Structure 1
Amino acid sequence: MDINSDLGESYGAWRMGDDAAMLSIVTSANVACGFHAGDPAGILRTLRAAARQGVVVGAHVAYPDLVGFGRRNMDPTSEELVADVIYQIGALQGLAAAAGTRVAYVKPHGALYNTIAHDARQGDDVIAALLAVDPALTLLALAGSPLIARARERGLTVVAEAFADRAYNQDGTLVSRRLPGAVLHDAEQVAERMLHWAQTGEITAITGERIRLQADSICVHGDSPGAVQMAQRIRARLDAAGIALAPFAAP
């Protein structure tokens, strides 16, 4: 099992999360590329820290939405979206090389992530961008999403993920952040929830129904309050249960 987190999201004087602490816990790091968060110097610091810790790095690509932290829906043309994703991957590849590591996978962020899970046109644009840059890049995507099959049909390796700190709808989609209960905060409850899912493949939706999620990675959002404690508790529970932790992509 892999544990991933969204990192490199600080911007100038504004601090977002605790990258150093998270990198001592997670096995994969989704590093911002400057479109929704992150400045070049801060991104480079995070990449260097990831390299020191042996954490595998992925490009956390997004809509160009600094003000909205990449969480506002957008409708770019295919030409724009393909180019935006290529640009972000390329920027992170350059910084990663300077930091002594490499970009092994791509995880879209925020509104882009949720849109491409079910929007075929934008999903195909992101797939096209990965294929244009490096077909060996792995795509990290929402468990149960139609995007997974489409990407695999185009030849990409795809890994599905489950979210530790987000509530699920009955259909396996994430509850909108605009709704009460969408983001989970109790570290002990979240850790127990993830252990139960890892052992049974089932998670409880916000409506109370049990749903099945097939995934090989757990995401803990680095910007969530108490993210470090949450990640620590999840890792401790999985370790205690004998569930081996390893990155899904080769370093």
Structure 2
Amino acid sequence: MTVDLNSDLGEGFGAYRMGDDAAMLEVVTSANIACGFHAGDPSIMRRTCALAVEKGVRIGAHIGYRDLPGFGRRALAVPAAELRDETLYQIGSLDAFARAAGDRVRYVKPHGALYHAAAADRTLADAIVAALREFDSRLALLGPAATEMEHAARAAGTPFLGEGFADRAYTPDGLLAPRTLPGAVLHADEAVAQALSIARTGKALTLDGGTVAVSAASICVHGDTPAAVHMAHRIRTALEEDGIPLQAFT
């Protein structure tokens, strides 16, 4: 059994920087690179794609709502047809830089508010999947398993990979706990234990101290989590020492 380790990268904009992308790319096997809507700009996209290819890390399009001021974490009422166009636009933009670096976009992962909205709303999930298939039918969709995202992908014949989060607690119904709640963002020791639990048993921690089933082919460590690179190193080491090899899913 293998597992993929991913992180959200390229999330600066202009003079603003977030996280140590170069260091994180030494650890992860897949990189969800911002496409300019919730974060990122052309120069950051080019640089992050080039670094990913240099390190042998797979490139994914981290699509989001067009919401730079809110970092894509605000729920927006975007019509499905518009979301389809915006998804296609973002994939194409990142793919241009991926190809300039010598590779291509391999998968798509929604960001923030769009991630949660598409997991719950089949119409939005269908719009995202339609854009994936228009661009390249080989593209996979990365998201929470057993949600409308998986249902839409399976119905369309699009490859789907479930995702678990090492550094976030879950609600008892299997959703990510809102960041505003105490204990929602896990510390390094907790994140290492959670990554091992997801990989070994398919279970993650809940805010009430219980566990919930999380089916995941890929485990995420957020690039903007405090000490994210150190945390990712510890998670990778713990997985490998437990006999769980890391390998990109695309």
Total equivalences in the alignment = 248
User: After superposition, where does 1:194-233 map in structure 2 within 5 Å?
Assistant: 194-233=195-234
How many angstroms does 1:178 deviate by? Answer: 2.5
User: After superposition, where does 1:11-50 map in structure 2 within 5 Å?
Assistant: 11-50=13-52
Residue among 67, 70, 85 paired with 1:68: 70
RMSD value, Cα: 1.0
2:57 is aligned to 55
Q: What is the identity, as a one-letter code, of the residue corresponding to 1:210?
A: T
How many angstroms does 1:138 deviate by? Answer: 0.3
C-alpha distance in 2 between matches for 1:146 and 1:80: 19
How many angstroms does 1:126 deviate by? Answer: 0.7
1:78 is aligned to 80
Greater than 3 Å deviation, 4+ residue runs: none
SS of aligned partner of 1:207: coil
C-alpha distance in 1 between matches for 2:40 and 2:198: 32
**TM-score, normalising length: structure 2:** 0.97
C-alpha distance in 2 between matches for 1:174 and 1:95: 31
C-alpha distance in 1 between matches for 2:170 and 2:78: 27
How many angstroms does 1:144 deviate by? Answer: 3.0
Q: What is the identity, as a one-letter code, of the residue corresponding to 1:187?
A: A
Structure 2 stretches lacking a partner, 5+ long: none
Q: What is the identity, as a one-letter code, of the residue corresponding to 1:200?
A: T
C-alpha distance in 2 between matches for 1:49 and 1:231: 17
Structure 1 stretches lacking a partner, 5+ long: none
Q: Which deviations, in whole Å up to 9, do the C-alpha atoms of 1:143-168 show, x marking residues without a partner? A: 33232122111110000010011110
How many angstroms does 1:189 deviate by? Answer: 2.2
How many angstroms does 1:94 deviate by? Answer: 0.7
Q: Which deviations, in whole Å up to 9, do the C-alpha atoms of 1:178-207 show, x marking residues without a partner? A: 2222212x2122112211221122222111
C-alpha distance in 2 between matches for 1:27 and 1:19: 13
